[in-house]
């Protein structure tokens, strides 16, 4: 399994969102990384349709970590090399609009996953994700996932279908919000 240093030490977003975010907790330490368990993954909606054997194949590519409140998970200069599973706690995804102003795009809780759009595209993120409570997450690295999907194509397709459904659902929600704004302005 390849370990990417960016997976473990993500720099804080150096922009106008600083006031909103507050003090960022210490950087994720390599020594605290461990794999998620079968029990951790079996309760995640992302893996609801997987067999025990399929879940066991995912365990080696998960990097489980406990994080304190206000830890920055991703920022607007990261490439989408990982996505995140939230086992407990909470996180918010925000976008910096202008100096000292951010828009909260999503609030995530136990069982949610996020970072999937950039993960699939492999492009620079356009959002910032921050733990809003002490949280336990698992990180899945794109390189590790790609190797898993090559070795077990049916498993990769099952997971990517759920991720695609999530992206489509987010797009529908965004479209509704934009239509509401347009109607309000008109």
Express each pLDDT in 123-137 by its tens digit: 777 788 899 999 999
Helices 153-185 & 142-151, crossing angle to 10 degrees? 130
pLDDT band at 29 (very low <50, low <70, confident <90, very high): very low
Q: Edge to edge, what strands does the sheet with 72-74 contain?
A: 72-74, 128-131, 91-98, 101-108
Q: What is the DSSP letter of 90?
A: -
Q: Give me the number of domains the chain comprises.
A: 1
Residue 27 has pLDDT above 60, yes or no: no
Of 11-15, 22-26, 109-113, 151-155, minimum mean pLDDT range? 22-26
The residue segments making up the domain with residue 57 are 5-185
pLDDT digits (tens, 9 = 90+) for 44-79: 999 999 999 999 999 999 999 999 999 888 765 566
Say yes or no to pLDDT of 115 above 90.
no
**Structure token digits, residue 120:** 């699939």
Confidence of residue 5 (pLDDT cuts 50, 70, 90): very low
Tell me which of 24 and 162 has the higher pLDDT. Answer: 162
What CATH number does the domain containing 97 carry?
2.60.120.10
Q: State residue 171 phi and psi, 5-degree precision.
A: -65, -40
- Residue 32: pLDDT over 90: no
Convert 59-86 to b/e letters by CB count within 10 Å (16 or more is b): eebbbbbebeeebbbbbbebebbbbbbb
Tokens of 83: 């996505």
Cβ contacts of 162 within 8 Å, gap of 6 or more: 45, 46, 49
Q: What is the mean pLDDT of the chain?
A: 79
Who wins on pLDDT, 87 or 19? Answer: 87
């Amino acid at each position: 399994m390849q370990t990417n240093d960016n997976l473990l030490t993500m720099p804080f977003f150096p922009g106008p969102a600083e006031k909103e975010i507050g003090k960022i907790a210490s950087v994720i330490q390599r020594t605290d990384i461990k794999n998620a368990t079968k029990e951790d993954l079996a309760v995640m909606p992302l893996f609801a349709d997987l067999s025990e054997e399929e879940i066991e194949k995912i365990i080696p590519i998960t990097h489980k970590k406990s994080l304190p409140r206000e830890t920055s998970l991703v920022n607007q200069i990261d490439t989408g090399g990982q996505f995140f599973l939230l086992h407990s706690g909470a996180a918010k995804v925000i976008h910096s609009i202008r100096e000292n102003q951010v828009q909260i795009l999503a609030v995530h809780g136990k069982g949610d996953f996020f970072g999937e759009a950039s993960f699939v595209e492999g492009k620079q993120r356009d959002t910032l994700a921050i733990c809003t409570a002490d949280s336990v997450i698992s990180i899945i690295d794109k390189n590790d996932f790609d190797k898993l999907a090559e070795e077990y194509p049916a498993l990769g397709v099952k997971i990517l279908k759920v991720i695609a459904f999530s992206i489509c659902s987010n797009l529908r929600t965004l479209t509704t919000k934009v239509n509401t704004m347009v109607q309000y302005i008109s």
